[in-house]
């Protein structure tokens, strides 16, 4: 088992090329009359008794004529439909089989002559005519039908798939036994490709040993299938006992090859049936042993379903369709494709490839197979028991299945796959409640409870593995890892539904949506909390900077006449703060009137003339916060003009242009350049305007004084 994957795959490719080359060379080495013959069933007959000419060389008998007899100078043989039988296993007794091989030898000897005479009839009972045909020593490659190449492909693909799984996991017994199946299956398909696509006959001795090789491949494939269920997903016996399988069935094969058995039933059919029954029984044992192990059950479910569907479709398409009359039976060579599908399913199950998806796909295939079986059963009942004609029976069957099957399928899908799953819409209120819980511990508790209710895992713990950005499956679907989201930590869930199911890709996408919604809800919570904190900070700052400063000034002033303006300003600012907290903005006219009245009183008390100019049409709409900050900024600018600039006149102009409100306060004082006058509240003015998206600028007009411009974008 020390071979590298490269060597294993190289050996598999070499075997495939050698087998295909041998089959092609032997098929092409056979002589050819240039004919293509097919069995012909006369009208009213139950079985084919004649051979019809489907393709004829130039100068030969017409296409559609019946081939009656083949003659050479030494021998002549009357042709029968059974001469073109695809598989001699359909013959019951060994005596009849040996007679068939003897006829094949006679026909092959005839075809070995340079020329033969073919007797034919235009129709059953018509006069018999004769045509001389030249026999070429080799078949043209173009004469090999598509089914020949398909059988080579099926055998080659099975061998390569088995080798691929074995190369990936060479130390596991399941892949080893799958590789054994991959070696056996081409032995059946490649030998069958040679004799099932013969032009008319091949040497009987060669035919017999090709048939024996075909039986060998079938029996060894069955041994490999039994061995798979003996070793996978759990090892039921010690590997050395697996040697009993080829020994027992090898003796049975010898009994068939040397005619020791009573007939074909005991020589070939019963051993194959025994192998299938043993595989089914072992699948049941494995199912019981894997209780509580969802990964093992997912692999086993896929293995058993692949075998059931592959074998069932082979029987249905080769045998049953001919009985029920839905459509003509499929050629056996093409029916090998169902075994290839089965083999591919076995490879996925044994290789344990993406079990979390195979588990769901197994249910899909099961429901699909159940639908096919339902159609066949209902149609068989209507045709065989009630004697309905095929057209009426098929139409009724499709109607019944459409009325019963699809609702039943939807119900079963919900019970088997989607049971217990909630929708994202249903989870949204709970996610919001979790995200807005007051404490981190409470959020963790509620999140864990929600996941427990959704998936019923056997274990739900904090995840200390590598950090994730989105949910991910682990251990072939045994575990589902969830990233930290929405203020809750990362978690890992193990053994869905208490170990009865695997986590699936559907679960991963569902939890990804939940985590995204949790993040969004947490962002809303954080924004809400941040807004509360910022609003508290603004209120505290306003109380401290505005009202607190005025109250502190009042403590040091004994003159009641000087106290009144400060008290009036403090009350006005307090009302503004309360109005801002309540989110209630004044009508703009009332806001303007209050601000003008307070400003006029302050200017009059300071002995300064205030000119108030308003050019607003229409009046802008300001929020409570904008009104408060604009009022505070303008009051601060006016205070600077009244207290520090030694101004005699102050002019305040309001303008609205291009979606911006501009308030300009100009005085005729000593001048107050912003860059040289720290500590005069200029930073406070600028900060207040920036908080509401506005600007504050200062300049010194040519005629002297200071000009303060407050700009605010408005709706």
For 460-528, the DSSP string reads EEE--SS--SS-EEEGGGTEEEE--BTTB--EEEESHHHHTB---HHHHHHHHHHHHHHHHHHHHHHHH
Instruction: List pLDDT tens digits, range 660-671.
Output: 899 999 998 887
Same structural domain, 321 and 409: no
pLDDT at 439 over 90: no
Q: How far is CA 535 from CA 135, 356, 483, in A?
A: 103, 50, 33
DSSP state of 32: B
The residue-averaged pLDDT of 217-241 equals 90
C-alpha closest to that of 249 among 152, 306, 304, 184: 184
pLDDT at 451 over 80: yes
| Range among 346-360, 590-604, 679-693 with highest mean pLDDT value | 590-604
C-alpha closest to that of 504 among 419, 408, 407, 409: 419
Confidence at residue 99, expressed as pLDDT on a 0 to 100 scale: 94
Instruction: List pLDDT tens digits, range 617-644.
Output: 788 888 888 888 888 888 888 888 887 7
Same structural domain, 305 and 331: yes
Give the sheet arrangement for strand 660-667, strand by strand: 609-615, 649-657, 660-667, 706-713, 695-699
Confidence at residue 563, expressed as pLDDT on a 0 to 100 scale: 65
The residue-averaged pLDDT of 447-453 equals 85
pLDDT at 552 over 60: no
Predicted confidence band at 354 (pLDDT cuts at 50, 70, 90)? very low
Q: Name the residue range of residue 383's domain.
A: 355-418
Domain count, the chain: 5
Same structural domain, 106 and 172: no
Q: Whole-angstrom Cα distance, residue 386 to residue 398?
A: 17
- Strand 491-494 and strand 459-462: the pairing is antiparallel
Considering the domain boundaries, does residue 460 fall inside one? yes
Percent of residues, the chain, with pLDDT higher than 90: 28
Instruction: List pLDDT tens digits, range 561-618.
Output: 666 666 766 676 666 666 655 556 788 888 888 888 888 887 887 888 999 998 887 8
Same structural domain, 160 and 189: yes
As a dihedral over the C-alpha atoms of residue 239, residue 244, residue 249, residue 255, rounded to 10 degrees, the angle is: 160
- Copy the structure tokens of residue 243: 């040697």
Predicted confidence band at 675 (pLDDT cuts at 50, 70, 90)? very low
Confidence at residue 219, expressed as pLDDT on a 0 to 100 scale: 93
Same structural domain, 349 and 373: no
Can you give the CATH number for the domain in which 274 is found?
Answer: 1.20.1070
- Placement of tokens 């590298």 in the chain: 4
Considering the domain boundaries, does residue 672 fall inside one? yes
Residue where a domain terminates, one of 353, 378, 397: 353
């Amino acid at each position: 088992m020390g071979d590298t994957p490269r060597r294993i795959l190289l050996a598999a490719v070499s075997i495939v090329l050698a087998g295909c080359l041998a089959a092609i060379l032997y098929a092409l080495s056979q002589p050819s009359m240039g004919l293509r013959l097919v069995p012909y069933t006369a009208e009213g007959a139950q079985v084919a008794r004649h051979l019809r000419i489907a393709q004829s060389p130039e100068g030969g008998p017409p296409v559609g004529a019946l081939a009656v007899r083949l003659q050479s100078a030494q021998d002549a043989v009357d042709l029968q439909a059974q001469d073109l039988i695809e598989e001699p296993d359909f013959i019951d007794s060994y005596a009849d089989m040996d007679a068939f091989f003897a006829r094949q030898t006679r026909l092959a000897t005839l075809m070995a002559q340079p020329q033969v005479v073919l007797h034919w009839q235009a129709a059953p009972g018509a006069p018999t005519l004769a045509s001389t045909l030249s026999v070429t020593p080799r078949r043209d490659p173009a004469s090999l039908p598509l089914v020949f190449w398909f059988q080579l492909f099926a055998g080659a693909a099975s061998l390569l798939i088995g080798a691929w799984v074995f190369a990936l996991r060479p130390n596991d017994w399941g892949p080893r036994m799958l590789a054994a199946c991959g070696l056996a299956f081409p032995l059946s398909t490649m030998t069958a490709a040679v004799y099932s696509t013969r032009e008319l006959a091949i040497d009987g001795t060669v035919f017999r040993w090709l048939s024996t090789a075909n039986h060998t491949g079938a029996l060894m494939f069955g041994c490999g299938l039994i061995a798979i269920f003996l070793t996978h997903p759990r090892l039921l016996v010690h590997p050395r006992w697996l040697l009993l399988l080829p020994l027992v069935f090898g003796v049975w094969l010898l009994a068939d090859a040397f005619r020791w058995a009573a007939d074909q039933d005991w020589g070939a059919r019963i051993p194959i049936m025994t192998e299938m029954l043993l595989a089914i029984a072992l699948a049941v044992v494995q199912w019981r042993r894997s209780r509580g192990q969802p990964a093992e059950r997912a692999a086993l479910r896929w293995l058993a379903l692949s075998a059931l569907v592959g074998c069932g479709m082979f029987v249905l398409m080769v045998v049953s369709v001919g009985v029920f009359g839905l459509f003509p039976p499929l050629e056996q060579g093409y029916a090998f494709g169902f075994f290839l599908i089965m083999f591919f399913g076995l490879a996925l199950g044994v290789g344990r490839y993406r079990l979390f998806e195979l588990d769901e796909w197994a249910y899909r295939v099961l429901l699909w197979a159940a639908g096919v079986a339902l159609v066949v059963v209902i149609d068989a009942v209507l045709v065989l028991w009630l004697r309905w004609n095929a057209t009426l029976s098929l139409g009724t069957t499709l109607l019944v299945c459409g009325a019963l099957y699809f609702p039943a399928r939807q119900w079963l899908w919900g019970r088997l796959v989607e049971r217990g799953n909630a929708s994202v819409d249903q989870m949204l209120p709970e996610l919001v409640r979790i995200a807005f819980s007051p404490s981190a511990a409470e959020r963790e508790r509620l999140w864990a409870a929600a996941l427990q209710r959704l998936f019923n895992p056997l274990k739900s713990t904090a995840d200390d593995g590598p950090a994730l950005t989105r949910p991910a499956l682990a251990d072939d679907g045994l575990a589902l890892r969830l990233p930290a989201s929405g203020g809750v930590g990362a978690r890992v869930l193990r053994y869905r539904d208490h170990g009865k199911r695997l986590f699936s890709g559907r679960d991963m996408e569902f939890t990804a949506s939940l985590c995204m919604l949790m993040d969004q809800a947490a962002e809303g919570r954080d924004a809400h909390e941040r807004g509360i904190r910022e609003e508290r900070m603004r209120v505290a700052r306003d109380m401290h900077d505005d009202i607190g400063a005025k109250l502190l000034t009042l403590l040091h002033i004994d003159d009641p006449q000087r106290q009144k303006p400060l008290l009036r300003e403090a009350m006005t600012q307090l009302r503004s703060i309360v109005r801002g907290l309540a989110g209630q903005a004044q009508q703009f006219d009332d806001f303007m009137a209050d601000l003008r009245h307070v400003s006029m009183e302050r200017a009059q008390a300071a002995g300064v003339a205030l000119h108030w100019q308003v050019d607003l049409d229409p009046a802008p709409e300001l929020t409570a916060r904008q009104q408060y900050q604009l009022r505070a900024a303008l009051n601060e600018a006016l205070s600077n003009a009244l207290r520090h600039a030694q101004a005699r006149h102050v002019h305040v102009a309001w303008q609205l242009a291009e979606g911006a409100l501009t308030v300009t306060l100009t005085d005729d004082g000593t001048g107050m350049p912003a860059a040289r006058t720290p500590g005069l509240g200029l930073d406070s003015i600028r900060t207040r305007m920036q908080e509401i998206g506005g600007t504050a600028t200062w300049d010194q007009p040519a005629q002297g004084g200071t000009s303060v411009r407050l700009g605010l974008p408005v709706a």
